[in-house]
Amino acid sequence: MKKISTAIITAITACVLIVSILVGCINGVLSYKTLGEEAEDKMSAMSIQYANQMNLHYRGIQEIVTGMSSYFEAGYDYSQSKDSTYNKTFMDGMYKYISVIQSTITDMDVLRLYAYVNPKNVGTMCSAISEKGERVVKNQDEEYKSWSLRSGTKWNFYNETLKNNKATWLDPYMDEELGQEVISYTQPIYVNKQVVGVVGLIISFEDFKQLVTSIKPYENGYAFLVDSYQRYIVHNTYTRENKLNDTGFEKLTELMSTQSQGLENMSVDGEQAYVAYSKLANGYCLVLVTPESDVMSNVIDMIIKSIILVIICVIICIIIAFIVGKKISTPIFKVTKDIEKAKEGDFTSKNYLPYLKKKNETGKLARALDKLQESMSKTVTQVSDNSTVVTDSAVHLNNAINSLVDEVSNITATAQQLSASMQQTESTAITLSDTSERMIHHIETMDDKNKSGVDTANDISNRAVQLKIEAAEAARKADEVCKTTGENLKAAIDESRQVQQINVLTKAILDIADQTSLLSLNASIEAARAGEFGRGFSVVADEIRSLADNSETTALQIQDITKNVIVSVSKLCDSSYEVLNFMDTHVKDTYKKLIDMSEQYNTDSTDMRELLEDIASVSKNIFSEIESLLKSFGELTDATSEGADGIQCISKNAEEVANHTREVELEANRLNQIAGELSGAIEVFTV
């Protein structure tokens, strides 16, 4: 019995282990795929978000400088461009304007606003510099001499701007006067297509640097900034002397040359990583890097937890299997003990009694053993009693044979011949009669089976007809649902396309924002011209420009959301059409096959019923023939009775067979001996 319980435990444990491993593997694969897609979406969204945040700063700076440029161009008299007195006076007015501008800037750390007249035209350095709300006054001759010599990097902002002949962002550099790392944005001023000066501002680069270095997509992720030449601007390890191609980012360089933003899985420092990038308005590019191991760390944790859970489940299942195995094997073990004792002749063991009322296989085994013990008890008792009777009968027979030996000696030979003939005839008749009765029994059984088969065939036919009706009804309903759903879906798709109108509305908002920004800029220029009397109007113009900027930002966000909604609606439409196509093709075909199959079942059941009816008719004919045969056996029995009468006549001459009767005496003695041996054998059994 130990083998049965062990087999049960092993089977249950193996099933649970296999299922747990399969579930764990499927869960791991799905989690790996899901986390990878989530990481790609997160990295792309973060790169765009931080790039937009930095672009807002850059655009704000560009708008400030654009306003200064417009003010410069509108108020500058080119005919007096070589008059140093005019230029100094103009720069005094320019300072007042830029000081007002600087006082209104609250959302960024502007270190310096400046305006310079072209030194080539004046022959000296005329400038207006506002640094933290105060004017910076410098020696004009020394500044002009420094500019003329082009010594150091002090005048890079001026030289690079004129060299590029457009507004220029200068890469971060250390400003010795301010004592910190800064970036500058400078725009040339053209009047009558001639360069008359430059305007610009300087902001601290530390805020951007901290923003870039604080970006942490994941635990070990980081961000860095490169310029338009793929040189590192902000990086924890590399300096501006290093380029992307020199540090293993050749693939990223190729992508940046064709796309303004994107994401790629590539090898970084010998480790696979997700790399997302987004270009900024000033030509820089923000890059986010996250090791793939960080993204998949949750998968590893989940796999470990799954393994622990599988082990716990296996242990619990082993315990349950052990209990179930014991519950199953214990009754079998006890019943087996009773059978082992019965094998030795002891039918008194009753270990199976508690399981007689159970309805499972153990109960059946216990009830069978109970019937066996009861039957053996009766058989042993009956054999024991009959053995005593046989012994007594053998003694009486022996005495009777001795007294009849002389009387039957004359007829022994004749009686033996007739007896042998009659025994043979009677044996043959009995054998044929028994065989006929068994055949009748088998035929009756076959007839019952045929009737049952006919009923079953009728049931199958009825179920096939019902199945056909239900399948046809289900196919009809499925077709109606498919048509209704398709019409509703098409109507919903047509309605969902109205979302595209949002793009038109947001474009209109952007146009209004641009016009409002331009209007505020003109208002600022007019306020600057009005001097102190226009300061209040200048504040209102700044607020209007800020409102226009916010409206533009909001409209851009609405456009992005609208694009996502349109893409999602398109995907939903495609998926819905696939579902409708599946129902229209596969589901209808399945119902049609089901209807055809039910018709085939109906046909087969009809054929089976007809075959069983034919078999029943044949069995009836056989039954009739066997009844005739039994009648013949009856006549043979009558003939045997007549032969018995003849033997009675011959018995009168029994004196002639007396000498042969001694053999019967010997058989009686042998029967007595067998009865003694049977009594000894019965004593072995205990009931």
> What own/partner pairs with CB < 8 Å and gap ≥ 24 does 158-162 have?
158/116, 158/186, 158/198, 160/186, 161/186, 161/187, 161/188, 161/198, 161/200, 162/188, 162/195, 162/198
pTM for this one?
0.43
3-class state of residue 330 by DSSP = helix
Higher pLDDT, 423 or 355: 355
**CATH no., domain 475-610:** 1.10.287.950
The whole-number pLDDT of residue 684 equals: 58
The 10 Å Cβ neighbour count of residue 427 is: 10
User: Hey, which of 83-87, 239-243, 373-377, 659-663 has the most confident mean pLDDT?
Assistant: 83-87
Q: E strand or H helix at 98, and its extent?
A: helix 84-104
Closest CA relative to residue 95, chosen from 122, 62, 117:
117
Q: Is the pLDDT of residue 290 over 50?
A: yes
Contact between 242 and 232 (Cβ < 8 Å): yes
Q: For residue 377, give both structure tokens.
A: 């008890």
Q: Where are the domains of the chain?
A: 21-295, 475-610
Closest CA relative to residue 464, chosen from 597, 607, 587:
597
Quick one: average pLDDT of 554-566? 78
Quick one: average pLDDT of 264-293? 88
The whole-number pLDDT of residue 1 equals: 46
Closest CA relative to residue 29, chosen from 296, 375, 248, 289:
296
Quick one: average pLDDT of 318-337? 74
Q: DSSP H helical segments within 497-534, as ranges?
A: 501-530
What's the pLDDT tens digit per position in 103-158? 888 777 788 999 999 999 999 999 999 988 889 888 888 889 888 887 667 888 89
Higher pLDDT, 416 or 1: 416
Residue 447: φ, ψ to 5°: -65, -40
What's the pLDDT tens digit per position in 504-548? 777 777 788 788 878 777 877 877 777 776 777 677 777 777 877
The size of the chain, in residues, is 687
Contact between 679 and 388 (Cβ < 8 Å): yes
- Judge whether 21-295 and 475-610 match in fold: no
Q: Is the pLDDT of residue 642 over 80?
A: no
Q: How far apart are the first and last CA of the chain?
A: 27
The CATH number corresponding to 21-295 among 3.30.450.20, 3.30.1180.20, 3.40.640.10, 3.40.50.410 equals: 3.30.450.20
The whole-number pLDDT of residue 669 equals: 74
CA–CA separation, 278 vs 63, rounded Å? 22
